[in-house]
Structure 1
Amino acid sequence: MNFDFSEDQVSLRDAVQRWAEKGFSFDRRHALAKAGGATREVYAELAELGLAGLAVPEQHGGMNFGPVEAMVVMEELGRGLVNAPFAEAALVAPALLAGAPEAVQAAWLPRMAEGSALVVPALQERRGRYKLEATDTTATAAGDGFTLTGSKSVVPAGDEADAFIVSARHGSGTGLFLVEKAAAQVRGYPTQDGARAAEVSFNNAPALLVAQDGLPVLSHASDVGIAAVCAEAVGLMDRLLAITVEYMNQRKQFGVTIASFQALRHRVADVKMQVELGRSMSYFATLKLGEPQEQRRRALSQAKVQLGHSMRYVGQQCVQLHGGIGVTDEYVASHYFKRLTMLEMAWGDTLHHLGEVSSRMQDTAGVFA
């Protein structure tokens, strides 16, 4: 199998890399985090590069790129520690709108592609425990439309968004609805990794129907989110390892650099192994996004389990190899560690996806499936 990237994919990666190196320094990220984590202006800069329309169909002003291009972009955003709701707004939201009525797509997708509208998913509830179908938010028919009542938690960039795509109980199933921010009650707050999230409540909020039977769409969109998390994590781990090796080649103890200590070199080799395991599973997740639902869901959960283990191991080892400086807020490595910790819980933590994998392997012999 050929894992080489095409010329267009390499050019896309280089463009994102150049922007991250020149336009998003650690000092800028640190300043944004200390100011509360607002990143709408960062997302606007990504939109100027055309990235907001990465997954939007061409007929609605987007580039209609596929999962591999999304993976390439997410890796570089991770490597640059870019703080913006890119995966949620530019990858997951268009996937959720893919089956929406044409009028809804025409009203929102062109604005999303140009970056003038920030639409984010609002899916998680307090009792949900990562289960897509677990929602207490309800949708009620009202004239030609619907109204929503309920609440969602940890909505990414919720207080900066223009609209939300919300899962809600409708009849005997789960539907998807689009609600504008003006119709919701939003309480924003900073997150541990320097970004922002919000608690969003709806009280008979007017809503547009996105999908009557929302679970299949929601399932695919969440897998898009998992693949994005995996790719971002690879970029984060790759760069954190490079920062750690650079530090070890400068830090001296007993008159020599600590990079010369055999025990530490062995630990770095183990870290590198985990980075490459994570990279291979990120590729696996991306390439499985086009598979039927049952195979796709199992593959994405398998990838998230491996990335969960890799993120935790790489983050902890690299911080420990730094010593005390590795946990200081002024040093870049601690921010990579915090972002990896947040990603380990995004779209389902490791334990949740281990359960998802095991539930789909009841008639098989594990690794030989």
Structure 2
Amino acid sequence: MGKDVTVAVGLGERAYDILIGPGLIARAGAEISSRLPGIRTAIITDENVAPFHLEALKAGFEAAGIASSVVILPAGEKTKSFAALQEVVDAILAARLERGDAVIALGGGVIGDLAGFAAGIVRRGMSLIQMPTSLLAQVDSSVGGKTGINSARGKNLIGVFHQPKLVLADTAVLDTLPAREFRAGYAEIAKYGLIDQPDFFAWLEKNWQEVFSGGAARIEAIAQSCRAKADVVARDEFETSDRALLNLGHTFGHALEAAVAYDGARLVHGEGVAIGMALAHRFSVRMNLASPDDAERVEAHLKAVGLPWRMADIPGKLPDADALLAFITQDKKVSRGALTFILTQGVGQSFVARDVPPSQVLAFLKENHPG
């Protein structure tokens, strides 16, 4: 079994480690009991993940003397709802867990966000351990303390910042992911290169096939992504300045997810991010900030790995450009009505653009709308 890679998230008294490597679900009981002795847990997971990984996790917990209760939820983005949050909160309280006990998020980004939100509000804050089982969650959503649920008015509009005590990213579980889910997660890996690591993006252009096939390149890509996110989170935990750069592609992407009513058959989060990143680069060209060559390079890489890169790649009909702009104006990064976008001056040269004129965005959406 390969050696774990550890990435530290430096947040003073709330610092924690991200462990990355194969077999961590089976070893989770030992890892957790050595750090948090005597805790009891509530394992939150979903119907897709439970058949593959729940028994191994529970066996490791039993061997380590960790008592656990389990909540199994439907899979998919629609589980990030008030109804599911209430179910999880009630289950934690019914198990009589205390503030020092832990909520275990065993799943992808949906479970991580929902279980993390529950941990953040039950008894005004319980311990949280993230055990991401999707590539997207391993490189992005499990790290940094963002938790929440969706509203009909937009994605992730209800939530809290609540940092985990530990993140255990078992790279072996990625072998059970459907190819589409793996590709969707890869979009977030590419994002880190496009934000401010042009050398990493160039490395991905050369090595993406090895990342997909597994082995050392996959672990390195995950670790580098976690390092990039950990550095940003340590500098700006509550997204008041440069943490916003992590939202490259997300302003367009979240609007597209809301536009399809979070229908995962049409568009999953990472695919929305991929299209959003391509649109952000293309919009930067329209604003005379970047070269068309850079936008074409980004689009070429997304196409090469099999990701969608334009709105026309989303099956079915989309709302018109005015409706898409309405979703964008509900985004969390809007401040006093002014639109904020992550734009770019080239590959690896992203920046926060505030006061972007809505008229410019609307004209761009009309130009790129498949209708």
Specify if TM > 0.5: no
> Which entry has the higher C-alpha Rg, 1 or 2?
1
Q: Which TM-score bucket, shorter chain as reference?
A: under 0.3
TM, length-normalised to structure 1: 0.27
